[in-house]
Amino acid sequence: MKLDVIKLDGAKAGTVELGDEIFGLEPRADILHRVVRWQRNKAQAGTHKVKTRSETSYSTKKIYRQKGTGGARHGDRNAPIFRKGGVYKGPTPRSHAHDLPKKFRALGLKHALSAKAKAGELVVLDSAELAAPRTAELAKSLKSLGWKRVLIIDGAQVNENFAMAARNIEGIDVLPSMGANVYDILRRDTLVLTKAGVEALEARLK
């Protein structure tokens, strides 16, 4: 698969050959769903917590005698049946993460890249470098290119000036190649890979 390479000013800078084994697969929603679910579950804090009847602050004294009241038999007011009593089988802090094989995660990344390529939402950029961290200049360039919700993936290292200029622009994410992941790729309308990013991803996924 061949794609045109462009510069930040929109000018063409040649073409690049993308491997079909990474960018030419038929995207499968089930694979993408499993990988995204694995990512989001792993990122979930899992800090939810309620008090059980042993942790609430009422007295543990029996509230009234067992027999002769005409009412139900109760112990203390910490029981779950009472208002502000302990919660029965409520959530406790835990990890929501689950295992997913490394090969399957790599396959999910290939399908995400292929999905963007098939939808025509993949752009190859010559380089993501700026001489100075000028947010206004970068925002103007992105506006002229029509990029609103975009993920830019660079090589092993992201240009510091470019990253600083991009971090104040809404809807723009910049990642190094090792940070490329299925969720971030799918959540943005446009995926932009630098030439260094393409080489790094192909080396990572082969």
Per-residue pLDDT of the chain (206 residues; tens, 9 = 90+): 889 999 998 899 889 999 999 999 999 999 999 999 999 999 999 999 999 999 999 999 999 999 999 999 999 999 999 999 999 999 999 999 999 999 999 999 999 999 999 999 999 999 899 989 999 999 999 999 999 999 999 999 999 999 999 998 999 999 999 999 999 999 999 999 999 999 999 999 98
The structure tokens listed for 181 are 């992941």
Measure the CA–CA gap between 104 and 106, rounded to whole angstroms: 5
